[in-house]
């Protein structure tokens, strides 16, 4: 009896506090090198109200109670570019930019006939130009990632000047902003690195007022990167802005040239530089499309 009463209270709370939990929402699941996203197309109208987008992402990204993903992409109209992208992460926060995410959005837009081979996407990090093409039947996008910012104020990081090879939590750490803040650390062994143990301390260091993604890089026969992402609060299979950040720091220190082939756990990315400007080439693919049912109560705050 007590259990049934409690269940009824929970159900009533959902109904009373759920202004938009009913109604089916169409979505598309995409991935770029294993960095996976749920895309909601809002060009024809808002599907999730802005104040609820964060809680929607928390529920939707959960891999047991939701669709599962490293973030939710909201595709909308833009007054300044061809399209607009907003990214909400699994912790409910909104990220400024995502390299793999913008390629996934480009894949959806290309398949839907919204764009041609060259177009621009508005993000919180600015206007991002893209070029798309097919390679061997696969979709690839070239993303203009802009000029990496090494100045501490632009990262942001405490202090003055550049943040290169400074001691932090037992590592030599460098930092750069490639749309979002990144810490970059060069190591000899990536395979046995206890990333989930050491990365959070750097990610939340007081030196980074807005936090930072943390990239561990091994330069050997290949340029390999593993990334702990802010907002996901864990390692992802690939991070586009992190790969650019890692290549940019390595180039700044004379370790690599203007073309860097990056191996992430989810697949390859090609990072190139033209002067100070960075470009990223990588794939994206559609996983499936679906519809959230009326039983998916995403706008109720829950600790999952």
Active site residues per annotation: 98, 239
257 is in an annotated binding site: no
Beta strand ranges found along the chain (DSSP E): 25-32, 35-41, 72-76, 83-88, 94-95, 118-123, 126-135, 138-146, 166-168, 171-177, 181-186, 213-219, 223-229, 234-236, 259-264, 267-274, 277-283, 285-292
154 is in an annotated binding site: no
State whether the Cα torsion 275-130-156-224 is positive or negative. Answer: negative
263 is in an annotated binding site: no
What is the C-alpha separation between 74 and 40, in angstroms, rounded? 5
Whether 41 and 108 have beta carbons less than 8 Å apart is answered as yes
192 is in an annotated binding site: no
- DSSP letters spanning 39-92: EEE-TTS-SS-GGGHHHHHHHHH-TTTSS--S-EEEEE--SSSSEEEEEE-TTS
241 is in an annotated binding site: yes
89 is in an annotated binding site: yes
215 is in an annotated binding site: no
68 is in an annotated binding site: no
233 is in an annotated binding site: no
Binding residues for substrate: 35, 89, 99-100, 213, 229-230, 240-241
Binding residues: 35, 89, 99-100, 213, 229-230, 240-241
């Amino acid at each position: 009896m007590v259990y049934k009463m409690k269940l009824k209270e929970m159900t009533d709370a959902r109904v009373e506090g759920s202004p938009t939990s009913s109604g089916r929402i169409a979505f598309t699941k995409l991935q770029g090198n294993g960095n996976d996203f749920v895309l909601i197309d809002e060009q024809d109208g808002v599907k999730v109200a802005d104040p609820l987008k964060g809680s929607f992402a928390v529920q939707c990204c959960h891999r047991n109670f939701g669709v599962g993903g490293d973030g939710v992409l909201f595709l909308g109209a833009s007054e300044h570019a061809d399209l607009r992208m907003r990214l909400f992460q699994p912790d409910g926060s909104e990220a400024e930019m995502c390299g793999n995410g913008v390629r996934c959005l480009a894949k959806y837009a290309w398949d839907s006939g919204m764009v041609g081979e060259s177009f621009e996407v508005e993000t919180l990090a600015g206007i991002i130009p893209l070029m798309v093409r097919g390679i061997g039947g696969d979709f690839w996008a070239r993303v203009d990632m802009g000029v990496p910012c090494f100045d501490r104020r632009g990262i942001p990081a405490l202090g003055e000047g550049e943040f290169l090879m400074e001691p932090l939590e037992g590592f030599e750490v460098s930092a750069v902003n490639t749309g979002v803040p990144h810490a970059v650390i060069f190591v000899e062994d990536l395979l046995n690195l206890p990333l989930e143990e050491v990365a959070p301390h750097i990610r939340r260091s007081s030196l980074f007022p807005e936090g930072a993604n943390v990239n561990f890089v091994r330069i050997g026969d290949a340029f390999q990167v593993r990334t702990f992402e802010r907002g996901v609060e864990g390692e992802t299979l690939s991070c586009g802005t992190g790969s650019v950040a890692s290549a940019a720091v390595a180039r700044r220190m004379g370790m690599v040239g203007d073309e860097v082939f990056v191996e992430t756990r989810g697949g390859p990315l090609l990072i190139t530089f033209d002067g100070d400007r960075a470009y990223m080439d990588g794939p994206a693919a559609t996983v499936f499309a679906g519809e959230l049912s009326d039983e998916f109560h995403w706008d109720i705050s829950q600790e999952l």
